[in-house]
Structure 1
Amino acid sequence: MAQLSFYKIKNTVLLFVLALISCGNFSQTEQAASKKPFEENPKEIPQNLEIIVGANLTEQYLSVLNGKQVGIVANQTSVIFKETGFTHLVDSLVSLNVDVVKVFAPEHGFRGTADAGELVKDGIDTKTGLPIISLYGKNKKPSKEQLADIDLVIFDIQDVGARFYTYISTLHYVMEACAEQRIPLLILDRPNPNGHYIDGPILEPEHQSFVGMHPVPVVHGMTIGEYAQMINGEKWLKNNVICDLKIISCENYTHESSYSLPIKPSPNLPNDAAINLYPSLCFFEGTNVNAGRGTDKQFQVFGSPYLNNQIFKFQYTPESNDGAKYPKHEGKVCYGMDLSDTKKLDRLDLSYLIQAFKNTANQNQFFIDFFTKLAGTKKLQQQIENGLTEEAIKASWVEGLKDYRNMRKPYLLYD
């Protein structure tokens, strides 16, 4: 499997000092973003001014943890960066004698090795001995009993900015559980690698699922911290409860910033190209087309035995690997396209999906039911089946995206 090269991020951690004070509930003013050092166009910010993720800003949150029993929602991306690499947030806090009592794990698990959709089981972290509670499977929301010994929850997970990437669904349920039990939630924010654009159909309420819980477009253009504020502000939590939030914002980040993830956010997003193509190619998960699972170019290639091999010249054969034990069309030759060298996208690209549908052996068997959940609407499948062009389909999104942009504005922490 392709490995990511480490992206060096400035270490601002001078000392880990636990203040001798205890904090109460978080005020609304504490949710404001850190003051940005530049007001210019983000492209004019000096290149040596590196993005600092929320987890690195320990001086802003260690005092909040003093005297608290802490639960942490985390995975392999929950790290504090250093000049020589990084340390996991959980390991760092435990070493500082922060009273971490348990870890909650999202899809793919605490160490990020489970397949997409694979049941993640409860367990014990072998390094720290902490209990791990799965939030993927039957138990997607922390229970009252699981939170009974917790005073504060930390949420620190790297997202990729797509509605169907389930970490924001986990965020929703964690916020709801914390609100119901009156437990503060501390979010350590991280950049959105697809935060430079907004695109796609708005999810319709009747198609809500764990791969789409809120009326937002496929590419929502928000960080986890911003998204949490929107969940609160739009009162999307059950019974309109409000979660008590504190957000540690990134420094030197804007939505136009280019950010290369140093750690794979999930097994099948191995590099920047896959992360950028993911919002466009994930639609194939709702079809009979393989989106690169079972290869070392996940979400950078697509193909199927049923696509016209006179049009789709590229071919590959999916095989079981660490990211996909049972990939679609395993052991079969798939014909499709290699997009790994595609220029960085700043829009949702439907051309691959439309072209594949037009050139499949049996169009009646192209889509599966899961497609509607991914799209958040039945209209997209109908539009493709009716032969609409990409331009015509996107024209139908204009008003919804305009309304969404207006809804999104009050919750932004970054330019």
Structure 2
Amino acid sequence: MRFIIFPQMTSYSKLLLIVCMLGVSFLHAQKPILGCENTTAYLPDLKGKNVALVVNHTTIFSNRQHLADSLVSLGVKIKIIFAPEHGFRGDASAGEKISNGVDAKTGVAIASLYGANRKPSAAQLKDIDVVIFDIQDVGVRYYTYPSTMHYVMEACAENGKKCIVLDRPNPNGHYIAGPVLDRKFASFVGMNPVPIVHGLTSGELAQMINGEGWLAKGAKCDLKVVACQKYNHQTVYDLPIAPSPNLPNRQSILLYPSICFFEGTEISVGRGTDTQFQVIGGTNPSYGKYTFTPTDKPGAINPPNEGKVCYGLDLTKINAYKEGLTLKYVIGMYQKAPDKNKFFTSPAFFDKLAGTDRIRTMIVAGKTEKEIVATWQNELKAFKEMRKKYLLYP
């Protein structure tokens, strides 16, 4: 920071100016205040009510206290905790079935929302008055927590329950990119017609889902969003805790939009290593000089290419924040594939992740990234215009 000191200023004035400027700098550097920390905005809604929580290990205050523990200590009647993918403690592998149980610390029953039952049932909500959703998202369409939120809102709408979303910053909230999902490819890794990187917080997305009538049969949820404070979409936010086992740090979260495509190919994204979603590689040496070997470990059970040497690229040092969503990695690996007919091990899943079959078919046809990106610019423009209605953070 530069200070302009005028010669005629007294020493005291100069000192006061510097102190004030440092104060402004400090304010800009302050961390956002999370929705859950604005307790006065939602505690009155919980007084004398039976409450359900949709939470996981990321549902913490800045002091690392879990929301469930805090509410129990305040006398809030929590009747059930719903756990999403990766479980209440966040240690389950991607796609691993989550079992029901009881939280040892609070004694509250835990019900899984990942497995056979991805949506709270009428029976589970029968005696519930308010449902609180508070889970850290990463702002990427194929992350499953927003799908859980969608189903929770839908269940609340169908059963006449109030839903409160306690908002959190979006670590990929500084840009918008990718094709808008074609509903023909809707799935749990992409339920709503938003781009791959949508530039919305969970609270803003919830308002959009409600406002655009995307819940089943156009139902409307009795929704309340408790916004963050001292936050906007250009705020650089480092998550205090890994949102899931295979997104261990900021670099992996920033690379996730570009790297997750490989989940539908023969290329490993580093599951079963300590550089998950920061390295890519296949079992043929043609993919690159960098090597790694995935192994079975907690959070990565039976990872792709387990026990096999993978050849590819180390992306741990690139500027992923500046780069944003790019197709250059998936295009580059496809071009290096010794047998292109075997590259897409699950074309259907690749298309579900992409939200369209255009990316895959155009890659196969030899199109450039520029040509592929051009195909979604009109739909992206329309989304950006619609998005303005639901923004909480200027």
Change (3 A) 1:222 1:44: farther
Are positions 1:409 and 2:368 aligned together?
Answer: no
For normalisation by structure 2, the TM-score amounts to 0.92
- Provide the C-alpha distance between the structure 2 equivalents of 1:219 and 1:53, rounded to a whole number of angstroms: 21
Count of matched residue pairs: 368
Are positions 1:51 and 2:32 aligned together?
Answer: yes
* TM-aligned CA deviation for residue 62 of structure 1: 1.2
Note the 1:250-329 alignment, pairs <5 A: 250-306=228-284, 308=286, 312-329=288-305
- Provide the C-alpha distance between the structure 1 equivalents of 2:352 and 2:36, rounded to a whole number of angstroms: 33
Moved over 6 A (4+): none
- Provide the C-alpha distance between the structure 2 equivalents of 1:261 and 1:136, rounded to a whole number of angstroms: 23
Per the alignment, residue 21 of structure 2 pairs with none
SS of residue paired to 1:296 = coil
SS of residue paired to 1:153 = strand
Give 1:361's match in structure 2, choosing from 338, 342, 363.
338
Per the alignment, residue 71 of structure 1 pairs with 52
* TM-aligned CA deviation for residue 205 of structure 1: 1.1
1:50-92 CA distance string (max 9 Å, x none)? 211001111221111100000000000001222xxx1100011
Give 1:393's match in structure 2, choosing from 364, 372, 384.
372
- Provide the C-alpha distance between the structure 1 equivalents of 2:26 and 2:372, rounded to a whole number of angstroms: 37
What amino acid is the match of 2:366?
G
What amino acid is the match of 2:352?
K
User: Mind listing any 5+ residue stretches in structure 2 that lack a counterpart?
Assistant: 1-23
What amino acid is the match of 1:324?
A
- Provide the C-alpha distance between the structure 2 equivalents of 1:217 and 1:344, rounded to a whole number of angstroms: 18
User: Mind listing any 5+ residue stretches in structure 1 that lack a counterpart?
Assistant: 1-42
* TM-aligned CA deviation for residue 321 of structure 1: 1.3
Give 1:341's match in structure 2, choosing from 317, 337, 342.
317
* TM-aligned CA deviation for residue 359 of structure 1: 0.3
Return the structure number with greater helix share: 2
- Provide the C-alpha distance between the structure 1 equivalents of 2:225 and 2:90, rounded to a whole number of angstroms: 24
Q: Answer with 261-270 or 346-355: which moved more.
A: 346-355
Identity %: 54
- Provide the C-alpha distance between the structure 2 equivalents of 1:155 and 1:205, rounded to a whole number of angstroms: 25
* Aligned CA-pair RMSD: 1.3
Change (3 A) 1:52 1:95: same
* TM-aligned CA deviation for residue 47 of structure 1: 2.9
Note the 1:136-285 alignment, pairs <5 A: 136-285=114-263
CA contact (8 A) 1:307 1:359 kept: no
SS of residue paired to 1:245 = strand
Give 1:60's match in structure 2, choosing from 41, 44, 66.
41
Q: Tell me which structure has the larger Cα radius of gyration.
A: 2
- Provide the C-alpha distance between the structure 2 equivalents of 1:96 and 1:112, rounded to a whole number of angstroms: 25
SS of residue paired to 1:70 = strand
For normalisation by structure 1, the TM-score amounts to 0.87
* TM-aligned CA deviation for residue 45 of structure 1: 8.5
SS of residue paired to 1:410 = helix
